[in-house]
């Protein structure tokens, strides 16, 4: 009789890379990506890796992490102000320690499942049971399967039998770049969007000397890069992860040659950066940072978008992932929404019932009309 066993590791180095690749296959956020995360001293997150084996054969690997989670992450406007007032009296209001299945940084959630078990919902039920046990040990009352694409929901919907609730996550955005030139891309945009983009670019290059440098690491510029990243982190309304200096150095080391830092200089001064990942025909615009004293005058958001699109086309990359948030602008510039879903369960029976109401009230498309479907 085949014996099913479970192992939970707190370090990806306990899993051989070839064993990881055997169940995950060839994917952008691969073994070196998770290795970089675990080495980056990200104080907000504790990483785990749950492995399910049959005898000595790995059937499934699930990346996990625990962190505090704000259930009101999507909230904007007056309701946001009300929640902040409540937190003056109850600091943990709508904040819960949570065990996530997925990654705080990947474009979408992923599970490594052996090829001949990828249509076996009973394997997901085994996984959910082990995650529940780990969550109890970590004193994490909330479990979330984070940001899984629609193609995975047929398998993951089995979680609904276990009293999980299904919710829409913030969608991702994808730009199809089946163009021979940037001019062709520009012509594909709506008239007003094309006119606005061209105007922004003309203004930017007329106002100063803009130089773009591409590097595989930023050891020499790391202090400036961190400052620009912190500017953008603190200016954003939606915050989940906070990166460290070591992260930027680590990904350049562990993910080489897939990393590209696009550095934007205005009259010799570093004013913006993009950290991007390149995999086959996919370009992922992962993290960005701006000097807000000058970025608006030089339209650096539009400059970096146009440069990325042009670079992709020239290097025969078919897809551009500009990430989540800022949907209205990204859709006008040729993006399309990629739906993502989460599955949530609270260990307290009554709070789990309340969670269904909170999901309906606090879902992202209640606060962003551009992602309403």
Across the range 183-208, mean pLDDT stands at 95
Angle between helices 300-314 and 191-207 (to 10 degrees): 110
DSSP 136: H
Banded pLDDT at 199 (limits 50, 70, 90): very high
Angle at the Cα of 26 from the Cα atoms of 105 and 126, rounded to 5 degrees: 70
Largest CA distance in the chain: 74
Give the span between the Cα atoms of 335 and 27, in whole angstroms.
22
Across the range 333-358, mean pLDDT stands at 89
% the chain with pLDDT above 90: 64
Predicted local confidence at residue 3, as pLDDT: 86
Predicted local confidence at residue 75, as pLDDT: 53
Enter the CATH code of domain 173-337.
Answer: 3.40.630.30
Q: Say if residue 366's pLDDT is above 60.
A: no
Q: Is 223 helix (H, G, I), strand (E, B) or coil?
A: helix
Q: Tokens 């290097």 identify what position?
A: 315
pTM of the complete model: 0.89
The token duo for 78 is 């007056």
Angle between helices 31-38 and 245-254 (to 10 degrees): 150
Question: Which residue intervals of 90-221 are DSSP H helices?
Answer: 121-138, 150-156, 182-188, 191-207
Across the range 208-232, mean pLDDT stands at 93
Give the span between the Cα atoms of 321 and 147, in whole angstroms.
15
Predicted local confidence at residue 28, as pLDDT: 81
Reference 241, options 40, 42, 6; nearest CA is 42
Contacts of 325 (CB under 8 A, 6+ apart): 170, 236, 238
72-100 tens-digit pLDDT: 665 555 666 666 676 666 566 667 899 99
Predicted local confidence at residue 81, as pLDDT: 64
Give the span between the Cα atoms of 173 and 324, in whole angstroms.
6
Q: Say if residue 63's pLDDT is above 90.
A: yes
Predicted local confidence at residue 238, as pLDDT: 56
Q: How many CB atoms lie within 10 A of CB 233?
A: 14
Predicted local confidence at residue 351, as pLDDT: 84
Backbone phi, psi, residue 36, to 5°: -65, -40
Across the range 23-43, mean pLDDT stands at 87
Reference 282, options 247, 310, 317; nearest CA is 317
Domain boundaries, the chain: 4-171+340-371, 173-337
DSSP 103: -
Enter the CATH code of domain 4-171+340-371.
Answer: 3.40.630.30
288-336 tens-digit pLDDT: 999 988 988 999 999 999 999 999 999 999 999 998 778 899 999 999 9
Across the range 117-134, mean pLDDT stands at 93
Q: How many CB atoms lie within 10 A of CB 151?
A: 8
Decide if 4-171+340-371 and 173-337 have a common fold.
Answer: yes
Predicted local confidence at residue 187, as pLDDT: 96
Residues in the chain, how many? 373
Q: Tokens 């529940």 identify what position?
A: 132
Predicted local confidence at residue 95, as pLDDT: 76
225-268 tens-digit pLDDT: 999 999 888 776 555 677 889 999 998 888 888 999 999 999 99
The token duo for 179 is 């163009």
% the chain with pLDDT above 70: 88
Angle at the Cα of 315 from the Cα atoms of 337 and 109, rounded to 5 degrees: 35
219 burial level (CB within 10 Å; 0-12, 13-18, 19+): exposed
Q: Is 110 helix (H, G, I), strand (E, B) or coil?
A: coil
């Amino acid at each position: 009789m085949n014996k099913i066993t479970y192992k939970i590791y707190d370090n990806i180095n306990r899993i051989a890379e070839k064993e990881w690749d055997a169940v995950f296959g060839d994917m952008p956020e691969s073994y070196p990506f998770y290795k970089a995360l675990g080495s980056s001293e990200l104080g907000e997150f504790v990483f785990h890796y749950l492995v399910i084996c049959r005898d000595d054969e790995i059937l499934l690997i699930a990346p996990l992490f625990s962190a505090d989670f704000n259930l009101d992450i999507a909230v904007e406007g007056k309701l946001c102000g009300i929640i902040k007032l409540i937190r003056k009296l109850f600091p943990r209001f709508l904040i819960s320690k949570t065990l996530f299945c997925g990654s705080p940084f990947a474009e979408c959630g992923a599970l490594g499942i052996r090829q001949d078990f990828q249509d076996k919902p009973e394997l997901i039920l085994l996984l959910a049971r082990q995650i529940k046990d780990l969550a109890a040990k970590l004193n994490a009352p909330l479990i979330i399967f984070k940001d899984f694409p629609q193609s995975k929901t047929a398998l993951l919907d089995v979680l609904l039998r276990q009293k999980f609730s299904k919710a829409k996550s913030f969608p991702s955005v994808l730009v199809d770049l089946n163009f021979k030139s940037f001019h062709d891309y520009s012509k594909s945009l709506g008239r007003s969007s094309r006119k606005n983009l061209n105007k922004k670019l003309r203004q930017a290059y007329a106002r100063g000397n803009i130089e773009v440098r591409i590097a595989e690491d930023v050891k020499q510029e790391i202090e400036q890069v961190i400052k620009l990243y912190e500017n953008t982190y603190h200016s954003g309304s939606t915050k989940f992860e906070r990166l460290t200096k070591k992260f930027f150095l680590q990904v350049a080391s562990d993910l080489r040659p897939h990393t590209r830092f696009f550095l934007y200089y205005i009259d010799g001064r570093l004013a913006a950066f993009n950290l991007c990942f390149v995999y086959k025909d996919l370009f992922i615009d992962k993290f960005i940072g701006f000097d807000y004293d000058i970025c608006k005058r030089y339209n650096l958001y539009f400059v970096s978008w146009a440069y990325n699109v042009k670079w992709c086309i020239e290097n025969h990359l078919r897809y551009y992932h500009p990430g989540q948030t800022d949907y209205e602008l990204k859709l006008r510039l040729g993006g399309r929404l990629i739906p993502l879903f989460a599955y949530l369960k609270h260990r307290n029976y009554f709070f789990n019932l309340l969670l269904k109401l909170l999901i309906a009230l606090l879902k992202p498309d209640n606060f962003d009309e551009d992602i309403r479907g």
